[in-house]
């Protein structure tokens, strides 16, 4: 079975996932990515430059329908590669769904089509108009991207029927979060067509790094009052809330530390805010850190905090036995973080609520260890590179049998 994926770039975690899938006997992977920086890749996303172990085809991008990027010569690649299955994600699903010649070729040649989606900020079919009023869609700079006035109603109606159309042409979906069942079924997908794979970093490597560090028995300078944040420094990560919460905590817990790992366009603004809040001595902007050094920082910290959008860093922190405090992320938090078991949820956008959740753990330090162990168990037993890849394979098997047998 040959599976062709499309991505806006090749982050390291995708490489690990595809290699794990390709280890399955009879699976061959090839990937189409942009030739150059993809139009859909966020600011500061780290892309791997390493040899991948599977075929990568680089194609130039262009803006297609609704200004969504698509690949030039994509049909030619399909003809030359002859995949059994195509796995396509957002935003490429939009132009693909509006290309009759391409769709006809895929259907005529019985090629399976799978939509890989983060079903976050996707409105159910019968709630589109009200949903985006209650949950305004924003970009990484927190700019509202929905039009206003009469244009909003036209935009929402167009989006509603566009989603209805492209859900109708796929054979199955691979979704990050359990919310896909409600959302995608509202557009006509059947339960058996929806496969919730979550998302996962290379947990095999993370566990190996942790075991290696433990075997070295070095002093990691562990501080249960050290908060750690990992991610690109863009506005929708809401690191500003974390700085505000840190200032509030210092009054009662002067041993509080905040370690911020990552870089991005908001770095300097956040450093200035730390100065204005008079907490710059407490906050360490460590920059981009990877692999073993990142592992040591996680193991030396008490609590992982994600104040805004994100997802994959939650998995990483849990793999190293950290309790997680978060709010509204990308939907995966509803599967990974369980209130009072391995983490806590704070009120979205409230630094007061965030500080209160952290304060609870500071006042109950034994809960940091208990919740951390529960986080490890969830990664070990439920959401890891193996379980995620197995769900991909289940989806492939379903589609292949439907199209080819």
pLDDT band at 51 (very low <50, low <70, confident <90, very high): low
Let me know: does 110 contact 404? Beta carbons within 8 Å.
Answer: yes
Burial code (b: 16+ CB inside 10 Å, e: under 16) for 148-167 equals eeeeeeebbeebbebbeebb
pLDDT value of residue 107? 95
* 6-10, 288-292, 391-395: range with lowest mean pLDDT: 288-292
Let me know: does 57 contact 24? Beta carbons within 8 Å.
Answer: no
Q: Is the pLDDT of residue 52 over 80?
A: no
pLDDT digits (tens, 9 = 90+) for 268-304: 999 999 999 999 999 999 998 888 889 999 999 999 9
Q: Is the pLDDT of residue 151 over 70?
A: yes
The percentage of residues in the chain with a pLDDT greater than 90, rounded to a whole number, is: 77
Q: Is the pLDDT of residue 331 over 90?
A: no
pLDDT value of residue 41? 65
Q: Is the pLDDT of residue 3 over 60?
A: yes
Domain map of the chain by residue range?
Answer: 2-200+385-404, 204-381
Architecture of the domain defined by 204-381: 3-Layer(aba) Sandwich (3.40)
| Mean confidence (pLDDT) of the chain | 92
CATH class held by domain 2-200+385-404: alpha beta
Mean pLDDT comparison of 20-24, 104-108, 288-292, highest-scoring range? 104-108
pLDDT digits (tens, 9 = 90+) for 73-84: 999 999 999 999
The rounded distance, in Å, linking the Cα atoms of 385 and 22 is 13
Mean predicted confidence (pLDDT) in 309-338 = 93
pLDDT value of residue 45? 59
pLDDT digits (tens, 9 = 90+) for 341-382: 999 999 999 999 999 999 999 999 999 999 999 999 999 999
Place of tokens 């209160």: 356
One fold for 2-200+385-404 and 204-381: yes
pLDDT band at 49 (very low <50, low <70, confident <90, very high): low
Q: At what angle do helices 385-404 and 203-216 cross, to 10 degrees?
A: 160
pLDDT value of residue 25? 81
pLDDT value of residue 106? 97
């Amino acid at each position: 079975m040959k599976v062709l994926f499309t991505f806006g770039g090749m982050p390291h975690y995708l490489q690990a996932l595809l290699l794990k899938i390709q280890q399955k006997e009879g699976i061959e992977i090839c990937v189409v990515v942009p030739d150059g920086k993809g139009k859909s890749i966020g600011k500061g996303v780290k892309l791997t430059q390493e040899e991948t172990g599977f075929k990568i085809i680089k194609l130039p991008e262009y803006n297609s329908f609704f200004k969504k990027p698509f690949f030039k010569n994509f049909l030619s690649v399909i003809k030359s590669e002859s995949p059994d299955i195509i796995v396509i994600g957002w935003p490429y699903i939009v132009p693909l769904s509006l290309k009759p010649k391409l769709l006809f070729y895929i259907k005529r040649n019985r090629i399976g089509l799978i939509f890989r989606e983060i079903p976050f900020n996707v409105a159910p079919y019968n709630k589109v108009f009200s949903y985006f009023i209650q949950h305004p869609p924003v970009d990484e700079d927190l700019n509202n991207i929905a039009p206003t006035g009469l244009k909003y109603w036209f935009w929402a109606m167009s989006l509603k029927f566009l989603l209805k159309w492209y859900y109708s042409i796929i054979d199955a979906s691979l979704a990050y979060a359990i919310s896909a069942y409600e959302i995608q079924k509202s557009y006509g997908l059947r339960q058996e067509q929806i496969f919730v794979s979550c998302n996962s970093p290379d947990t095999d490597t993370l566990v190996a790094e942790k075991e290696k560090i433990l075997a070295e028995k070095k002093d990691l300078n562990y501080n249960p009052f050290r908060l750690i944040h990992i991610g690109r420094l863009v506005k929708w990560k809401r690191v500003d809330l974390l700085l505000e919460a840190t200032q509030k905590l210092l009054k009662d817990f002067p041993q509080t530390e905040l370690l911020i790992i990552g870089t991005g366009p908001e770095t300097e603004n956040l450093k200035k805010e730390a100065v204005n809040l008079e907490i710059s001595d407490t906050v360490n902007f460590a920059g981009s850190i990877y692999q073993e050094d990142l592992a040591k920082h996680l193991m030396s910290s008490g609590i992982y905090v994600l104040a805004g959008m994100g997802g994959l860093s939650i998995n990483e922190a849990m793999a190293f036995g950290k309790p997680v405090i978060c709010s509204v992320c990308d939907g995966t938090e509803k599967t990974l973080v369980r209130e009072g078991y391995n983490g806590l949820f704070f009120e979205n956008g409230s630094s007061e609520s965030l500080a209160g959740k952290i304060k609870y753990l500071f006042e109950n330090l034994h809960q940091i260890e208990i919740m951390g162990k529960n986080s490890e168990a969830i990664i070990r037993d439920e959401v890891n590179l193996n379980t995620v890849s197995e769900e991909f394979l289940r989806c492939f098997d379903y589609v292949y049998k439907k199209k080819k047998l």
